[in-house]
Amino acid sequence: MAVKLTKNEQKKQKDQLKQYQRYLPTLQLKKQQLQMVIRQIEVQLAEYKAKQEALVGSVQSWISVFGENSAFCEERRLDSLVRPERVVKKEGNIAGVSIPIFEDLTFKDIEYDVEDYPLWVDKAVVLLQESARISALMRTLEIQVELLGRELRTTSQRVNLFEKVKIPETKENIRKIGIYIGDQQTAAVVRGKIAKKKLSAKGETDD
């Protein structure tokens, strides 16, 4: 878009450049912060995944016992004893982004007759609840990454806009206006000298 080649426009462009240069470091800092936090969360996700795999591995020695689950009737299946009820979260804020923070996963209180199940069921229920909690926590972390990643993309676009478009464009506008005003001032000086010379010559003729 063409700019007016005036001193008022020159001042306007200089003011805009100052705003861009003042705002850009804030955007760059926010971008770095978001990148760092996302990396930290991804590390946490990897750690919890390993923890969950270790949890499953801890029952490998008696996994054959879990095979008894298929022998239970439908209403007595092991998964019927572990029913997540509610994911408890609170709201956090990172770099101006609202994110959910996992606190707990509650389960429905299901009573069962111990005589209907083998002894390993109590331990299995505890392990399955812990595994479900880890899954809920990981899902919350994944949502955090998604929300922060979305903000990172927006922030990166703004950084690129300022660095590659707005600041260079504004500097170029200031340069063009400066050249034009300089040329106009030079032309005015030349015209003034010519006019003075003509007046001087006219004066000498009149004499």
Highest mean pLDDT among 53-62, 65-74, 167-176: 167-176
Digit-coded pLDDT (tens) for 159-183? 999 999 999 999 999 999 999 998 8
Q: Which band of pLDDT confidence, cut at 50, 70 and 90, is reported for residue 3?
A: confident
H or E stretch covering 180:
helix 167-206
Q: Is residue 158 part of a domain?
A: yes
Q: Is residue 108 part of a domain?
A: yes
Q: Is residue 14 part of a domain?
A: no
Q: Is residue 11 part of a domain?
A: no
Q: Give the DSSP letter of residue 107.
A: E
For residue 124, the model assigns a pLDDT of: 77
For residue 118, the model assigns a pLDDT of: 67
Q: Which band of pLDDT confidence, cut at 50, 70 and 90, is reported for residue 72?
A: low
Q: Is residue 103 part of a domain?
A: yes
Q: Is residue 79 part of a domain?
A: yes
Q: Which band of pLDDT confidence, cut at 50, 70 and 90, is reported for residue 79?
A: low
For residue 54, the model assigns a pLDDT of: 87
d(CA 105, CA 96): 26
Write b or e for each residue in 61-89: b if 16 or more Cβ atoms lie within 10 A of its Cβ, otherwise e: eeeeeeeeeeeeeeeeebeebbeeeebeb
Number of structural domains in the chain: 1
Q: Is residue 190 part of a domain?
A: no
Give the chain's mean pLDDT. Answer: 85
pTM of the model: 0.77
Q: Is residue 189 part of a domain?
A: no
Q: What is the mean pLDDT of residues 82-96?
A: 92
Per the structure, the complete domain to which residue 85 belongs is given by 24-163
